[in-house]
A and B are shown apart, each in its own frame.
Chain A
Amino acid sequence: MLLIRCPYCEEERPELEFRNAGEAHIARSTDIASQSDEDFEKFFFIRSNPKGLIYERWRHIHGCGRFFNAARDTVSDKFVLTYKAGEPKPDISRAANDSGPAAWANRPPDQLNVKKPAARRAPSKKGKA
């Protein structure tokens, strides 16, 4: 079982107590009425879904009940770090670079679906548990 550090409980707790709550640091426009449909679509529907490092919201739903943010590697499932909601996105570029061949995919939504550098794709994980 994964242990996830809750920044409010200040300790590692079993993953069963947590629930994922989608991508983090997606700011809602302060003037949403004047937003273009394209921008609203980007805000509301488009997520980066990277292979590699992702910033996510998590909730310690069966613990202190708090939402917090986590930087997690979607390939290894490793939690790089967790921090309280409202705190700025921490600089973990080194950790991102360390996360292997998949880290190239960690880019913001508007840079997605551009030509993919095929040569740097992660090797097939087939056969590995």
Chain B
Amino acid sequence: MAKAAQRAVASAAGNTAKRVGPLDGRAKRTAMVSVEPAPPATRISLRAGKDAVPALSKALGLALPDRPKTSASKGSRTALWLGPDEWLVIDQAGHDMLADCAKVKALHSAVDISHRNIGIVVSGAAAADTINAGCPQDLSLAAFPVGASTRTVFGKIEIVLLRTAEETFRVECWRSFSCYAFTFLAEAARDAAA
């Protein structure tokens, strides 16, 4: 019955179904840390050799970082260094980055992975402790400063980690792992507050 009602609402709104994220409505907040799903964003996986980097940087409007464990931000966009020829670029305003890259003639590969990943924002005084519950990296400010980004592990899954502020991290994981990642983070947040 409920489903039929939903369908009726959808068709009334011009046949557009509402997109539902796997973590919609979930949140964990303690006095020390909060764990929340990040709003939808567009993302591309970018692979390119050294010669294509200047043109891609120009097309994307931000300088692709070339140092390990770094990122670059401009406006709504953040480019995360994942490997010597690999970047994850996130646009929080939802702009079409593939269109930007299509203008570049130099050899590169850009794949839209907007819906492959889910972002989780972990913030608060115990944010690093919460992530360290499943991630073996040194997340002290000296080793992992603001703007640092890396692909790493979290429990049994692979994540991409970005420190957006001293006490704020963005965890990017594959959509099908997001329930695991969120539940793990929520339990870690409970422990970190204890």
Contacts and interface: CB of A to CB of B under 8 A. Distances in A.
Interface stretch (A39-47, A48-56, A63-71, A116-124): A63-71
Contacts of B166: none
Size bracket of the A interface:
10 to 19
Contacts of A62: 151-153, 158
Interface residues of B, number: 13
Contacts of A66: 83-84
A65 B85 CA distance: 10
A interface majority secondary structure: loop
B69 interface: yes
Interface string B71-106: 000000000001110100000000000000000000
B interface majority secondary structure: strand
A14 B153 CA distance: 10
Given A11-B69, A62-B158, A64-B68, A16 B84 contact: no
Contact of B151 (A11, A16, A63): A63
A62 B82 CA distance: 10
Closest 4 CB pairs of A and B: A14-B136, A64-B83, A9-B68, A65-B83
